[in-house]
């Protein structure tokens, strides 16, 4: 579980009088009522039930919540959606949910059948049938299938949609779980096939198995037919590490075993595990990523690196021959060099080529890089890839050929899925999503706001072509700004139906802390510089007002997870800019986050509140501590899930309780049961989650006074 993978990874109402609750939890002073942090505490469950009912009644009273839920559910259950596939062996696999299969089907088909408008699918695993048989409510979390015959898979199932999973061995030929096969009970685990009879296992099961971040700290090899307790440890990390994992590369002729040790989100070490279980370090900077493939080693820098007489900037992609590098040679070839406008967004191998995705001012470009006989690498645009769109390679099969699957989308462009073969077949659209909302009369613009320190911050605006510049357009500003996550244009049918189709303007803010301009854009808002992300978001809001697109009573802010922290900071530090705020599955109490769930894994991003020197700056962006009575806070919805085992629901609960205690009457809270650190364990739950978001925003922005009477 390396840092890159981690980055890229919702009652019964009791008597409130009996519990001493009168609509709020008692929280004298800036201290959280700790029982609210316990997801299954009876008092907490009663408090959540009361809050949920209050919010539901308010949303139903002022709008048709049920109609909104149905519109969203129609999208989520539509059989016209693209069934995205992964090429595994002779088949193309897809996981699918709809009205008849709320928990989903794992299914497969052939390429010939997939080309048809209505492919014939073979069901591999019916999760709803499994749940009926077992009396469970399993949520699909993926399958890892054994190369090269792909007859056995390790299937991960979550009891509620959280990160903890049960792992079971499955036979693709018989469509049955393997009797007495590999099986891990529910835990935070990572597994990988070594061969048919051996697995790499890193799990939180057992004594001293967890890091302080609640991830595995020991990598072991587990042999078929032996109890889990007899697995052989091959690496033991420190409790202060974030996570460890083992992986096997089964590429014929290049078989190798690797151990990955993540010290935090941005610092890791990889080792080659030898036959005698000794380790050889892949010697790259700890903040760089190293990725072997066949004879090659890819290295991506996150900070400047001088090596072999050359200096490479942060965000550079380098390649070397793997064996030469391990032998000490440092002959590195740059495959991508960043500049002020271009950043590396991803790289994926086909059999003979490397496809690199570049963001050029948050617009996608795809390049094909190919090693030449003389040691150089050629570079050319991917033939047939569209310009000025969000383009992503979603699947390749590097064991066999140069096939790739590419998705193309935009704010107003329903996604398409194309298949190509480099050098043989230009990308051919195989599947096309229908339009789920009308786009006629809508337009997309990119603008740049100027932040407090002079930094130019890009943002996208989606709204009517004939937008009236009177400051009265209901506008939703969305952002994230953390963990080097890039926000790019994409088709969002739920947002389109519930916001754009009702006359709203949508804004996507590419603030610092994200990865839109590479590692330096991210590091500019790390730790003590975190407020720069919020200054950027505020600058976008101010730019929208300056352009007379909107004004504070008509402007809303929304974000989830780290973006929920962003939304919380806009509430307590920039309340004058907004008429409503939504904070989803949020982090909000920076003093206590290290004590909850996977909190310590985020110290590299935010700092350590237990260190006085770090708390000195962290308290400047901790909404729970910054909340004060008598402020012009806009109406706010905190929305989370009971099953979130990453951030946990306690942060949102405590923040709502504190604001109630401070006397605010315009704060709302809702907690779904399932979905983990997401929006629902099934489509119905997801539809409720998002309907509440948009219903809340429309109610509170529509009630705003005219712009000429706004402060």
Give me the mean pLDDT over the 642-662 stretch. 94
DSSP assignments along 638-689, one per residue = EEEETT-SSS-THHHHHHHHHHHHTT-SSEEEEEESS-SSSS-SSHHHHHHH
| Confidence label for 39 from pLDDT (cuts 50, 70 and 90) | confident
Q: How confident is the model at residue 526 (pLDDT cuts 50, 70, 90)?
A: very high
What is the arrangement of strands in the sheet containing 296-300, beginning at the earlier edge strand? 289-293, 296-300, 317-321, 333-336
Digit-coded pLDDT (tens) for 99-136: 999 999 999 999 999 999 999 999 999 999 999 999 99
* Number of Cβ within a 10 Å radius of residue 614: 17
Both structure tokens of 520: 């330096």
Where residue 7 falls among pLDDT bands split at 50, 70, 90? very low
Distance, CA of 279 to CA of 235 (rounded, Å): 9
Region 67-91 average pLDDT: 96
Enclosing H/E stretch for 132: helix 127-134
Cα–Cα dist 86/144, whole Å = 11
Q: Is 299 helix (H, G, I), strand (E, B) or coil?
A: strand
- 588-607 pLDDT tens trace: 999 999 987 688 999 999 99
CATH T-level fold of 3-9+11-19+37-74+443-709: Rossmann fold (3.40.50)
The pLDDT, as a whole number, for residue 35 is 87
Per mean pLDDT, which range of 3-7, 157-161, 366-370 is the poorest?
Answer: 3-7
What is the Cα–Cα distance from 575 to 711, expressed in whole angstroms? 12
Answer whether residue 26 shows pLDDT above 80.
no
Nearest-5° angle of CA 453, CA 459, CA 461? Answer: 145
Q: Name 140's Cβ contacts closer than 8 Å, sequence gap at least 6.
A: 95, 103, 104, 106, 127, 157, 158
Task: Decide if 505 contacts 475 (C-beta within 8 A).
Answer: yes
Both tokens of 572, joined, read: 């307590």
Q: Check: CB of residue 186 under 8 Å from CB of residue 176.
A: no
Q: How confident is the model at residue 407 (pLDDT cuts 50, 70, 90)?
A: very high
Active-site amino acid positions: 561, 677
Strand runs labelled E in 588-649: 635-641
Q: How far is CA 43 from CA 17, 54, 375, in A?
A: 12, 17, 67
Domain range annotation of the chain: 3-9+11-19+37-74+443-709
Name the phi and psi angles at 128, rounded to 5. Answer: -65, -40
* Tens digits of residue pLDDT in 427-455: 999 999 999 999 999 999 999 999 999 99
Instruction: List the Cα angle 481/407/117 in 5-degree steps.
Output: 140
Prediction pTM value: 0.92
The pLDDT mean for the chain works out to 92
170 and 176 in contact (C-beta within 8 Å)? yes
In whole angstroms, what is the distance from residue 19 CA to residue 610 CA? 33
3-state class of 536 per DSSP?
A: helix
Mean pLDDT for the stretch of residues 448-468: 97
Q: Residue 672: what are its φ and ψ, rounded to 5°?
A: -75, 165
| Secondary structure letter of residue 594 according to DSSP | G
Provide the percentage of residues in the chain whose pLDDT is more than 70.
94
What would the pLDDT profile of 190-231 be if each residue is shown by its tens digit? 999 999 999 999 999 998 999 999 999 999 999 999 999 999
568: pLDDT confidence band, cut at 50, 70 and 90?
very high
* SS3 state at 581: strand
| Structural contact between residues 696 and 540, judged by C-beta atoms closer than 8 angstroms | no
């Amino acid at each position: 579980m390396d840092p890159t993978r981690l980055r890229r990874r919702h009652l019964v109402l009791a008597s409130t009088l009996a519990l001493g609750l009168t609509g709020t939890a008692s929280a004298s002073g800036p201290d959280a009522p700790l029982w609210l942090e316990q997801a299954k505490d009876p008092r907490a469950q009663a408090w959540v039930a009361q809050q949920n009912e209050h919010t539901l009644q308010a949303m139903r009273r002022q709008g048709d919540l049920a109609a909104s839920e149905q519109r969203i559910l129609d999208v989520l259950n539509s059989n016209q959606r693209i069934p995205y596939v992964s090429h595994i062996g002779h088949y193309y696999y897809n996981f699918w949910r709809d009205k008849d299969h709320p928990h989903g089907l794992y299914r497969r088909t052939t390429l010939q059948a997939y080309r048809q408008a209505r492919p014939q699918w073979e069901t591999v695993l019916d999760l709803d049938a499994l749940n009926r048989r077992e009396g469970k409510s399993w949520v699909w979390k993926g399958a890892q299938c054994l190369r090269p015959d792909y007859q056995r898979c390790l299937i991960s199932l979550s009891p509620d949609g959280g990160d903890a999973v049960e792992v079971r061995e499955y036979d693709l030929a018989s469509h049955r779980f393997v009797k007495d096969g590999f099986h891990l009970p529910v835990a935070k685990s990572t597994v990988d096939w070594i061969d048919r009879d051996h697995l790499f296992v890193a799990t939180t099961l057992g004594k001293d198995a967890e890091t302080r971040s609640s991830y595995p700290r020991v990598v072991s090899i587990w042999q078929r037919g032996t109890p889990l307790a007899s697995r052989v440890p091959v690496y033991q990390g420190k409790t202060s590490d974030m996570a460890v994992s083992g992986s096997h590369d089964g590429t014929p002729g290049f078989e190798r075993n690797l151990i990955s040790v993540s010290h935090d989100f941005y610092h890791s070490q990889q080792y080659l595990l030898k036959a005698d279980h000794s380790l050889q370090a892949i010697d790259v900077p700890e903040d760089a990523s190293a990725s072997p493939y066949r004879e090659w080693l890819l290295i991506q820098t996150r900070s400047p690196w001088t090596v072999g007489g050359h200096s490479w900037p942060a965000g550079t992609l380098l390649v070397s021959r793997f064996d030469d590098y391990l032998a000490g040679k440092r002959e590195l070839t740059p495959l991508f060099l960043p500049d002020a406008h271009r950043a590396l967004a991803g790289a994926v191998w086909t059999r003979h080529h490397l496809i690199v995705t570049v963001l050029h001012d948050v617009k996608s470009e795809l390049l094909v890089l190919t090693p030449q006989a003389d040691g150089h690498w050629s570079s050319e645009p991917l033939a047939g890839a569209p310009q000025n769109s969000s383009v992503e390679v979603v699947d390749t099969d590097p064991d066999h050929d140069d096939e790739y699957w590419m998705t193309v989308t935009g704010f107003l462009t329903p996604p398409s899925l194309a298949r190509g073969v480099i050098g043989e077949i230009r990308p051919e659209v195989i599947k096309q999503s229908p339009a789920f909302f009308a786009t006629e009369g809508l337009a997309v613009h990119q603008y740049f706001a100027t932040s407090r320190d002079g930094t130019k911050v890009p943002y996208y605006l989606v709204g009517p072509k004939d937008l009236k510049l009177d400051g009265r357009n209901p506008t939703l500003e969305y952002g994230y700004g953390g963990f080097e996550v890039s926000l790019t244009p994409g088709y969002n049918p739920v947002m389109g139906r519930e916001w754009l189709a009702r006359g709203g303007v949508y804004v996507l803010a590419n603030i610092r802390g994200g990865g839109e301009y590479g590692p330096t854009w991210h590091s500019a808002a790390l730790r003590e510089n975190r407020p720069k992300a919020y200054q950027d978001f505020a600058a976008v809001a101010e730019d929208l007002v300056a352009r007379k697109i909107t004004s504070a009573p008509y402007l809303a802010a929304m974000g989830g997870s780290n973006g929920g922290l962003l939304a919380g900071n806009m509430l307590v530090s920039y309340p004058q800019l907004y008429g409503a705020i939504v904070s989803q599955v949020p982090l909000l109490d920076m003093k206590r986050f290290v004590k909850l769930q996977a909190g310590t894994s985020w110290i590299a991003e935010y700092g350590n509140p237990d260190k006085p020197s770090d708390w000195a700056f962290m308290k400047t962006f901790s909404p729970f501590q910054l909340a004060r009575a008598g402020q012009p806070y806009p109406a706010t919805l905190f929305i989370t899930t009971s099953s979130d085992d990453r951030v946990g629901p306690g942060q949102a609960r405590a923040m709502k309780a504190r604001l109630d205690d401070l006397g605010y009457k315009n704060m709302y809270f809702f907690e779904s049961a399932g979905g983990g650190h997401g929006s629902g364990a099934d489509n119905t739950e997801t539809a409720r989650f998002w309907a509440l978001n948009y219903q809340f925003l429309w109610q509170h922005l529509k009630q705003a006074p005219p712009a000429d009477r706004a402060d």
